[in-house]
Structure 1
Amino acid sequence: MQTCIIYMTKHGATKQASFHLAKKLPGDIQMIDLKNEPCPNIEGFDNIIIGGSIYMGNIQKQLKQFLQENLPILLRKKVGLFLCAGHPDPKTINEQFQNAFPAALLHHACAKARFGYTYDFYKLNAIERMIVKKIVGIKQSTFQLSTEKIEEFATQFKRKSTHKV
């Protein structure tokens, strides 16, 4: 079974989460960072997992474009969706998923999760640090990716990915 994890990251949290997730999944796993690699042909994959990070309430534009261009194919595959985001409010998390992913894909996905976040103040620019301090309330570098959430997602995805669409 071939699985493709397609992600975009700005400061590395989503990449870190993607690599941790790949270790928890069986079969052949291909990792694609849309920021640094060309858009893949996803027809040959059985399973596709897509992850992005939230900045200013939304995921990266290039990832959104990939989703729109490939939506018909994605709706024929087993799909999992994840976000790396720092806002802890469950209402905000639901809004982030709705803003990040097309409604049809959200409904179709067999696994969805928020894996947590990292705020590495050494990687953030001055404006990003100010926003994190003021809006999120975090005053120093914080690393809160949840290995438990990643493992739960992997378990759910493995269980559901054995069934055909």
Structure 2
Amino acid sequence: MKTLILYHTRFGATELCARRLADYIGSEASIQRLSEANQVSIDSAEAIILGASVDKGHLIRPMAEFLAKNPDLGVNRPLGLFLCHGEPDGLSLLKRCYPPVILARARVAEAVGGYLDLRKVPRMLRFLLAIIGVKKSYDRLDNAALKRLAEAFK
């Protein structure tokens, strides 16, 4: 099944997840940054997986805007969702971030953990992260969750 993994990333974690997911799915998967997506690539996909991160407790704005403009996404083809996050309870965060109608249409939705490379974060944000105790880069991605998502699209 030709699967398009459509993602938005701010500091690279969601892109890393999209690439891993494409590797797990295999040759039928392609990845595309949301800002580079066009209607042709979206319409030609047999299945779509959306990946985004969290910004201040909400789905990152470009993905939220995309979903608002595409309310019928997942009606006529399989839909998958993943969310990158740094929270302890990722599943409840995923359920809060994605619109309920989109969640209901998803074949599978996974909270895939977080990854932060402080070298990619602007200085001011690094300063704010240090204030709340984040002083080191980390990789807490849940590869098992990515593999579960991939299995649903093979």
For Structure 1 versus Structure 2, the TM-score category normalised by the shorter chain is 0.7 to 0.9
Tell me how far apart the structure 1 counterparts of residues 121 and 103 of structure 2 sit (CA, whole Å). Answer: 30
Q: Partner of 1:112 in structure 2? A: 109
Cα contact 1:74–1:105 (8 A) shared by 2: yes
Q: Partner of 1:70 in structure 2? A: 70
Q: Partner of 1:158 in structure 2? A: 153
Counterparts of 1:130-141 in structure 2 under 5 Å? 130-135=127-132, 137-141=133-137
Counterparts of 1:23-102 in structure 2 under 5 Å? 23-26=23-26, 28-35=28-35, 37-41=36-40, 42-88=42-88, 90=89, 93-94=91-92, 96-102=93-99
Tell me how far apart the structure 2 counterparts of residues 56 and 141 of structure 1 sit (CA, whole Å). Answer: 19
Give the secondary structure class of the aligned counterpart of 1:51.
strand
- Once the two structures are superposed, residues 43-83 of structure 1 have per-residue CA deviations (whole angstroms, 9 ceiling, x without a partner) of 32221100001121122222111112112142222111001
Residue 86 of structure 1 and its aligned partner are, at CA, apart by 0.5
The normalised TM-score by structure 1 is: 0.81
Q: Which runs of 5+ in 1 are unaligned?
A: 160-165
The normalised TM-score by structure 2 is: 0.86
Q: Partner of 2:16 in structure 1? A: 16
Cα contact 1:4–1:31 (8 A) shared by 2: yes
| Segment of structure 1 superposing worse, 7-16 or 24-33 | 24-33
Q: How many residues align?
A: 153
Q: Choose which of 141, 145, 152 in structure 2 pairs with 1:145.
A: 141
- Once the two structures are superposed, residues 90-112 of structure 1 have per-residue CA deviations (whole angstroms, 9 ceiling, x without a partner) of 2x641x32343211110111111
Aligned alpha-carbon RMSD (Å) = 2.0
Instruction: For 1:146, give the aligned amino acid.
Output: D
Give the secondary structure class of the aligned counterpart of 2:153.
helix
Residue 131 of structure 1 and its aligned partner are, at CA, apart by 4.0
Q: Which runs of 5+ in 2 are unaligned?
A: none
Tell me how far apart the structure 2 counterparts of residues 119 and 24 of structure 1 sit (CA, whole Å). Answer: 22
- Runs (4+) of structure 1 moved beyond 3 Å? 38-41, 130-135
